[in-house]
Each structure stands twice: as structure tokens, then as C-alpha cells.
Amino acid sequence: MASHWEEFYSTHLPPTDFEDNRKLLKEFCERHNKAGQRVVLITSGGTTVPLEHNTVRFVDNFSAGTRGAASAEYFLEHGYAVIFLHRLKSLEPFTRHFTGQKFMDMLELHERGPSTTITVKPDCVDIVAPILARYKAAQEAGRILYVTFTTVSDYFWLLRASCECLAQFETKALLYLAAAVSDFYIPSSELPTHKIQSGAGAPTISLQLVPKLLAPLVSLWVPHAYVVSFKLETDESILITKARDSMNKYKHKLVIGNILQTRRNRVVFVTPENNYEIVLTREQLLSGMEIEDTIVSNIIESHTEFIAQHKY
């Protein structure tokens, strides 16, 4: 009998731009693997669960993609090649620093007819320049690949395709699964084609469990990689138990637990050996420090040890 995840792939079509993305992933991975690079797959942002095939309405979640986008910058800084698999329109590395009106407020317009120019305000140059320099360096070296998803089904297809390309890196591949993936969905076969009409009264919507892809990912798709998953909870009293359960079940290398409201300043690392916390103080947060800086440094240290242990 086909497992739950196999059944999912046999009953859900890949996204329309799937083959293009697969080609890009293949090219990116082959180039960096040949160069002996380490690579990280970062998943980031929330997934949607459509309520209709011609989707007008969908179920979504809170994730802004801050964790993934910030972490991507730190992995690039440490020399990793980065596949940034993220929700369309969620935060992206580098541009995340200039969202909303921030960007406009940093510019000055000098209207001189045909020789009109735009400059960065002098007091903003120290903010923009280092970010721009890091952005350009990553682009010019071709060290980051952006791939987008919207629905949970798109995400599933692109995650498996990414893993298929990452397998060749063996222990040099790191998976950093920070996306907030829906646990529930409506299978394609049960979706109405057209917009749900209100005339028929309030609909009862029945969701089903999505397959847990961490199982085939760890044991079949990238069996030699260093896999890190995140566990989100809202109830502190169950966080560590749930994170530990996930580690025992999937037998990967690290689960990072976090609570919705405190996720920017506190996380718990649950490893096969122990648990430990990373906490930022109010002062550290106010000074602009980001918890992802420490999370990424700690993971890279463990990934380096892991690679060394598996060399023969």
C-alpha cells in the first residue's frame, strides 16, 4: 500500500512553473557541489490551503518569513550557498530591511528637469551600504537561489525536488525547515471548482491531515544531510516535549522549539543529547541584534563537526 506522502504526490499536480524551478535547482546544486561548497536549503513563510480550485479564498497563517530571511543572510555570510524556498511575497533576505515606507524615507529626490537624480540620504548611507554590498556579493557569486511557493501543495512538490538535488552534497547539505507549513488541507479531489457561493448557506469545511514529509525527507530523500526542523507552539508547557517527540520520531539532528509571542528573543535547541536555550536580552534586541545570528552560528558549528565525523 502507498504511504500517505506517496498518495499525496500521486493525487496532487505539481505547480505550473515546477519544471523551470527544477531546472534552476539542478543547475544551482551541480555548480556548487562541483565547487565543493556547503549548501543550505532554507524554507520560509507560511503556506496557503485553498478552499476552491479557482482560488478566491484560502486558509493562511501568521508567518512573515522573518526567521528564514534573516537566517539566509547569516548563512551567506558564513560562505554557504543558499536555496531560499519561500512563500511568494513573504520577507526576503536583504530587501527585508527596507519594507513599507522605510525605503522611500531613505531617499532624496533632486528635481532638475532632465538631469533629475535620486540619492540615499547621507545619514542612511551607513545603513544601506553594508546591506547593498552583501546583496551584490551574493548575487554576483550566484550564491543564492530564490524559489517561491504559495499553497501547501506547491511547497510539498518543491521541497521534494530540492531534496532530490541536494542529495549529492551528502553531509555538506543542511536543511533548515523554518516554514510554517499547514498541518491541515483539503485534498484536491474534494475542492469545488468555482467560488463557494453564500446563497447555499454557510459551508462546513472539513480539513484533513497533511502527510508528515519529515519522515521520507530524513530517511529517503537526503539520508546523509544535516536536518534541522522548527517546532512552533503557543503553550510553553508542551514545547520541549513536542520538540523531543519530533526528534525521537524522525531521528534528525536538531529541533528548534519556539513560542509564537517570544520567537524573536528565545528559542530552545533540542538535540539528541540535551536541550539548551538561546535568549536575547531586551538591550540586545534594542541594539539591533537578531537571534538568527546566534542560531545560525551554533548550527554551523554542529554541521562542521558532523561533516568531520562522517569523513572517511
Binding positions for ligand 9Z3, rule: CB under 6 A: 63-67, 177-178, 180-181, 229-232, 258, 263
Provide the grid cell at 83. 536555496
CB closer to ligand 9Z3 out of 128 and 259: 259
CB closer to ligand 9Z3 out of 39 and 181: 181
CB closer to ligand 9Z3 out of 28 and 155: 155
Radius of gyration of the chain (CA): 21
DSSP string computed for 16-60: TTHHHHHHHHHHHHHHHHHTT--EEEEEESB-BEESSSS-S-EE-
Q: Where are the beta strands (DSSP E) in the chain?
A: 39-44, 49-50, 58-59, 81-87, 107-110, 117-120, 144-149, 173-177, 184-185, 208-209, 226-233, 254-259, 266-270, 275-279
CB closer to ligand 9Z3 out of 155 and 230: 230
Q: How far apart are CA 50 and CA 11, in angstroms?
A: 15
DSSP state of 193: S
CB of 130 to ligand 9Z3, least distance (A): 22
CB closer to ligand 9Z3 out of 149 and 230: 230
CB closer to ligand 9Z3 out of 32 and 160: 160
With CA atoms as reference, report the closest residue to 189 among 1, 7, 2, 32: 7
CB of 289 to ligand 9Z3, least distance (A): 16
Burial of 259 (0-12, 13-18, 19+ CB in 10 A): middle
CB of 70 to ligand 9Z3, least distance (A): 8
CB of 194 to ligand 9Z3, least distance (A): 30
CB of 105 to ligand 9Z3, least distance (A): 24
CB of 231 to ligand 9Z3, least distance (A): 4
